[in-house]
Structure 1
Amino acid sequence: MSASRDAKVVVVGAGFAGLAAAVSLVQAGFQHIQILEANGRVGGRVHTTRPFTKNIIELGANWIHGQDGNPIFQLAKEGDLLVEGMSSSKIMCLPHSVTPRDYFFKQGGKQLSAETVDQVCSLFSKLTSKAFDSELEDRHKALSLGSYLDAAFAESPLAASEDSERQRIFEWCKRSECTDEASSSLYEVSASQIGYYIALEGGFFNSLGPGGYQAILDILLKCLPSGMILSNKPVKNIHWDLEEKSQGTESREMHPVKVICENDEVFEADHVIVTVSLGVLKQQAAAMFKPALPKSKMDAIERLGFGTVDKIFLCFSERFWPEDCAGIQLVWDEGPEDKSVYTSQTEEAWKEKWFKKICGFDTVACHPTVLCGWITGREALHMETLQDSEVGDTCVRLIRSFTGWSVPDVSQVLISRWGCDPHTLGSYTFVPHNVNAVKEHEALAAPLPFQNKVPESKPLQVLFAGEATQVNFYTTTHGAYLSGVKEAQRLITLYSDKTLSH
């Protein structure tokens, strides 16, 4: 009999990382696996809903990031979940995805020419690509992403003209990039370290069919035995490196790990795979683990950035924007992405102007009367404290003042609130300025106990998965998935070696 059949494994979290780990272990013959999920639903930061019609809205993960080597794309393809040519939605929400179908408006109601917008967005795309491709000049490598972009734009012919519109559009691009980086400002983000992120070939798209991201989760769920996932089981403590103890004359089997839920329910295990978000680790890791996590791991949890990105869905009774309009983009005369404004604003000032962080409002696939606004960082966290009605009314006022169109009152508002969700406390990871990406991601991913230091301890007691543990694919669903597979493979290899040695 394979030794893996007897190993007890607890997986904390039923997002893509946790599900991928569990499926990998089941397929390798592990029989004693329990998944503890804090929420009443599975999926983690994937949350597919149907609030307006029978068609889906994604409150969480929205896109598949590339095709080549992407297990999420492969699952969707094999499951026949992809839909070609979903032309009613924007493919991306990044500056270099801007098309002539985006309407850009200046503060005060003037629409900007598509040619000017394209010029600036193309330059922005070229400059960010240099950072992502690790092609920065030496003088830019020590800068934050925001400072590098400012310096590079200032040296470009576009900045040489007296046309302030180009500068304003460039600031819009920076604000949009904040959404991709999950940061309050690009001045928080490292310019040189984002080169470790690998963008898979094949585009960045949301061509999932009517089941949305939930349909991919369902494929994984079908691979797991009934009863393996226990919902509404938030974990309070993880005791590891427990020693075998005798009780009287009888010695009972003692597992080295004990997982204690908030309701004090206890699960004993040989191994636990922790897939909670970096946001949760930042808040709870110091109290969650006993003995305490090694300093290198606590440092990584502290140093890596974890930001909030929220969506604001506005459902109207009728469509008021032109048929060829894929998005209404807002270009402020002075915005929160300006360095001088960002660094000088008091808390009261930026909270009063929180709505300036909204890049614009994009059309939504299969929802002809719905727009989606994106907001990130500290402004997103503040927005989460407001009532849906206040947020909706503010957004309608913005659209009216920028476009001059006749805009009806919004009929329904739906807002994601990832920052205040106690089981995520944010959206995804970024690498802050002056942080070593490889060192911190790898420290976060390292299993416990460190085998080279404690040879007498049972190996791989606590393993860590999730997008934040990925050097090359952080922020992505496939990064989360691959991290779960990787940690499961550590255990599969461990027990394969044990079987061979007997």
Structure 2
Amino acid sequence: MSEETKIVVVGAGFSGLAAAATLIKAGFQNVKILEAKERVGGRVCTTKPFTENIIELGANWIHGQKGNDLYKLAKEHDLLAEKALKDSSESSQDYFFKEGGKHLPDELADGVTSLFEKLTSKAFDRELPESYQDLTLGDYLDVSFAESSLADEEDGSRIFEWCKRNECTDEAVSSLYEVSASQESEYIARGGEFFNSLGPRGYQAILDLLLNDLPSGTILNNTAVKSIQWDKDEEEDHAVQVICENDQIFEADHVIVTVSLGVLKEHARTMFEPALPKSKLDAIDKLGFGTVDKIFLCFSERFWPEDCAGIQLTWDEGPEDKAVYSSEDEEDAWKETWFKKISGFDAVARHPKVLCGWITGREALHMETLEDSEVGDTCVRLLRSFTGWSVPDVSQVLITNWGHDPHVQGSYTFVPHHVNGVKESEALAAPLPSCSQESKPLQVLFAGEATHVNFYTTTHGAYLSGLREAERLINHYSD
């Protein structure tokens, strides 16, 4: 049966590649991956724009070591470069500056960032007092910080606002007042350090492990899917028909949809025939999908100290301030100060002359509409005014545009305030039809980081979701 069964996988990111590779290993011989882009990898994008060394435009880290399948895979195949990168980072530290060029004391920065980590850990570890359970993450942090002695120091408050702005990058949100404090506990962090220490081929090396398991011709690039017609007449040989933008048509018994939540938000109501059930459409609407972008600045010479891991910017009044975020005065006024959402500029491994700025939310989406030269000039101006150092003009600028990429439309998933993330992720992951229904079961399956209850936002969550759907089909044919 597995030799005759036709399976189409939509999307060649980690989830799609994992699903296809697992099915082929199990003996399924008619597996095709339809990928809208010219390249594979989805939100993993390893490039070499500046030197012979790689830059990660997308996924950057392996999130934790213990129990992390991708970490295990990378370690087994000697794809980590832990020692070289770890040794270089141990002797470096972040430099915090405030407007006007003052370098804030390292002791104060360490104290505030340590407190912030303890407070967020309580949310992630289900240790929130009952009185905080219904608060947004931003409100919980504000209340908790106000109770500390560090809140009495003006510069301490500046650094705390920076921490909140930096956390927006992890959450892929415009503001921490969008997300629930209690829902954070549904995300399970893998133990051990985050590793920005993949070897010289970066994340592409892990993708290649999966690609090596796929026969030639399995992946069809530049093949965007327009329509998935499922639950077809019982007399049809195959229950599903996949129609592509280039007018190609694929018959299938099962389709595994691994497109991003951003793409589903845009196309779910027109992409499927018959329409998706209300529970799934509601899940697509309720779950959040935010944008995180990187701004790479390549200079002709290094101007920051050797022990500087990053140049972090603190503002007198920043975009994460609740009053600023909630203001209804001049609705688009924030576009004039979009750059305030840049948390800072980090050193980049293997690139001694490159800094990477991080920006998220609505400000990131606005930045994507600007010319690269304008963004680069703005960043240089920030670096000069905050540090007081002699900062040369930037020689190359590289900016990601995940929010306006039509085949992604964002970066990763978050759970908004008052949304039950577990319920909605499970609804999103549910196959159609289920095995309990009379129609041919498991015609349309769903994978991707947004469908993983505990590991959403991560590459290992995407990878595991692909394995999950492959195993679902394998078990179906084994029963």
Q: TM-score range by the shorter chain?
A: over 0.9
2:443 corresponds to which residue? 461
Task: Report the secondary structure of 2:339's partner residue.
Answer: helix
Aligned pair partner of 2:321 in 335, 338, 348: 338
Counterparts of 1:327 and 1:89, CA distance in 2: 16
Alpha carbons 2:313, 2:343 under 8 Å: kept: yes
Counterparts of 1:261 and 1:121, CA distance in 2: 49
2:161 corresponds to which residue? 171
2:69 corresponds to which residue? 71
- What amino acid is aligned across from residue 196 of structure 1 in structure 2? E
Counterparts of 1:227 and 1:67, CA distance in 2: 34
RMSD: 1.3
1:6 corresponds to which residue? 4
Counterparts of 2:165 and 2:177, CA distance in 1: 11
- What amino acid is aligned across from residue 390 of structure 1 in structure 2? E
Task: Report the secondary structure of 1:243's partner residue.
Answer: coil
Alpha carbons 1:88, 1:366 under 8 Å: kept: no
Alpha carbons 1:89, 1:363 under 8 Å: kept: no
2:265 corresponds to which residue? 282
Task: Report the secondary structure of 2:83's partner residue.
Answer: coil
Number of residue pairs the alignment of both structures matches: 478
Query: Does 2:393 align with 1:409?
Result: yes
The 5 A counterparts of 1:88-237 are 101-159=93-151, 161=152, 163-237=153-227
Task: Report the secondary structure of 1:152's partner residue.
Answer: helix
Identical columns (%): 73
Q: How many angstroms does 1:259 deviate by?
A: 0.5
Aligned pair partner of 1:471 in 453, 457, 464: 453
Q: 1:373 to 1:88 in 2, by over 3 A?
A: farther
Structure 1 portions without partners, runs of 5+: 92-96, 246-252, 498-502
Q: How many angstroms does 1:89 deviate by?
A: 9.4
Alpha carbons 2:85, 2:197 under 8 Å: kept: no
Runs of 4 or more above 3 Å deviation: 86-91
Counterparts of 2:88 and 2:362, CA distance in 1: 26
Task: Report the secondary structure of 1:174's partner residue.
Answer: helix
Alpha carbons 1:90, 1:326 under 8 Å: kept: no
Alpha carbons 1:134, 1:192 under 8 Å: kept: yes
Alpha carbons 1:238, 1:260 under 8 Å: kept: yes
Aligned pair partner of 2:312 in 318, 329, 337: 329
The 5 A counterparts of 1:327-366 are 327-344=310-327, 346-366=330-350
Q: How many angstroms does 1:62 deviate by?
A: 0.4
Counterparts of 2:296 and 2:157, CA distance in 1: 29
The 5 A counterparts of 1:78-89 are 78-87=76-85
Task: Report the secondary structure of 1:211's partner residue.
Answer: coil
Counterparts of 1:341 and 1:399, CA distance in 2: 23
Alpha carbons 2:92, 2:306 under 8 Å: kept: no
Counterparts of 1:100 and 1:152, CA distance in 2: 29
Alpha carbons 1:83, 1:207 under 8 Å: kept: yes
Show CA shifts across 1:242-285 (max 9, x none). Answer: 0134xxxxxxx521100110112100100000000000000000
2:405 corresponds to which residue? 421
Alpha carbons 1:86, 1:365 under 8 Å: kept: no
Counterparts of 2:434 and 2:208, CA distance in 1: 35
Q: How many angstroms does 1:88 deviate by?
A: 7.8
Show CA shifts across 1:306-348 (max 9, x none). Answer: 0000000000000001111110000000000000001105342
Counterparts of 1:127 and 1:100, CA distance in 2: 24
Task: Report the secondary structure of 1:260's partner residue.
Answer: strand
Q: 1:282 to 1:432 in 2, by over 3 A?
A: same
1:249 corresponds to which residue? none
- What amino acid is aligned across from residue 165 of structure 1 in structure 2? D
Q: Please report the TM-score for the alignment, with normalisation by the length of structure 1.
A: 0.94
- What amino acid is aligned across from residue 199 of structure 1 in structure 2? A
Alpha carbons 2:8, 2:255 under 8 Å: kept: yes
Task: Report the secondary structure of 2:403's partner residue.
Answer: coil
Counterparts of 2:82 and 2:134, CA distance in 1: 42
Counterparts of 1:87 and 1:482, CA distance in 2: 27
Q: 1:54 to 1:165 in 2, by over 3 A?
A: same
Q: How many angstroms does 1:154 deviate by?
A: 1.1
Structure 2 portions without partners, runs of 5+: none
Show CA shifts across 1:383-442 (max 9, x none). Answer: 000011000000000000000001000000001100000000000000000000110000
1:43 corresponds to which residue? 41
Counterparts of 2:107 and 2:64, CA distance in 1: 28
Q: How many angstroms does 1:90 deviate by?
A: 8.6
Q: 1:208 to 1:87 in 2, by over 3 A?
A: closer
Task: Report the secondary structure of 1:419's partner residue.
Answer: helix
Q: How many angstroms does 1:156 deviate by?
A: 1.7
2:428 corresponds to which residue? 444
1:239 corresponds to which residue? 229
Counterparts of 1:89 and 1:374, CA distance in 2: 24
